[in-house]
Chains A and B, each alone.
Chain A
Amino acid sequence: MKFKIYRYNPETDAKPYVQEYELDNVEPGTMLLAALLRIKDEQDQTLSFRRSCGEGVCGSDGMNINGFNGLACITSLDSLKQPVEVKPLPGLPVIRDLIIDMDQFYKQYRAVKPYLVVNDPMPEVELTQTPKQRERLDGLYECVLCACCTTSCPSFWWNPDKFLGPAALLQASRFIEDSRDQAFEQRLENLEGPFKLFRCHTIMNCVHVCPKGLNPTKAIGRIKAKMISRSL
């Protein structure tokens, strides 16, 4: 099986290049991460990428695979056209090979104040929440912060410092929708203006690439609707 992998080491390379690798005896059902690990172990120790859980839960190994962002550990080679072209996630600076600098992504995540705010004194037991209220968080809380969505978004490519991007906005929605949260007004206010939220043009790349099957565009739409009904 053939692979074409993006390589770049700022210490030695004037510019990025593509390196070809070949693996024999790739069993059906093998995930891309397993192939990358084999290349690193058997052929080239210098090939660099992030990875951890290997089952799509930790969000470490987001990369661009044959033109689509995804997690290497849950992308089966069976489904990929050869040679498999692997690049770093687009739109953010490359540190080395498949590893991008995610600082801007995390900065936008922090910008939505992604934590529960409760101003009332806490009870000595749990805050109650009905199953129905809790259901509103489904599709929002499962995000693994892999950045596949945000780095597939043209609006983010153009304005990475001003548009918060789908991942951060999904988090904003996760707290706006939480019946326990008491910062509803401030959260909506925080998203005012032409850029932070409203740069979303419903291109929906985020939805197509999300490895967890989440729908940031829908979450953004829910926030927009709340902002509009609030301003009326």
Chain B
Amino acid sequence: MQNLGDFKLPHFFNYPPYFTLQPVRDTREKQVQVWKELIIDYCRTQKIFVIGLEEEFPLFSNPVIERSLSHEAREAFLSALVSEGRAEWLGKGHRKCLILWHHIQDWADIILRFVKDNGLEDSVITVEEMRSGVECRGTELHGIDRAILMRALRLLEQKGKLAIFKGTSADDEGVKFSM
């Protein structure tokens, strides 16, 4: 079986018709289902947060069988993820898609755990430190997409767990926890 780096591709990836959007409803549902799982699994293990529909993406084509997904098919699979809350379109036109292998709520829980593990309950930390600082190494927050992190932080802000304040430039927004 083929691999993409350390990622083991499922068998269907080598079966040509899975690259054509199936016309029969039942068959298409099953097809969409396996593609959804593949996209989520791949993004989670490779830490990919954004998929550009018109850009090169390893899952969108299989050179071994000389097949690639049409734009329509890409959009169909990602839309299916969006409708389940496991992805979101970025902007209008459906050109880029944010992949949420964790729901925003789950990311918020991960942040809370991170805060407790590091004893930051009453501290101040910058947003950038949360995704690339020493403390986050080895946690799921390491390398998290900034947009997703901000969404999760805002959710926690609404719940009164923290306050976000602006720094002097865009990349030094700070977070004050109050838990």
Does A associate with B in a complex? no
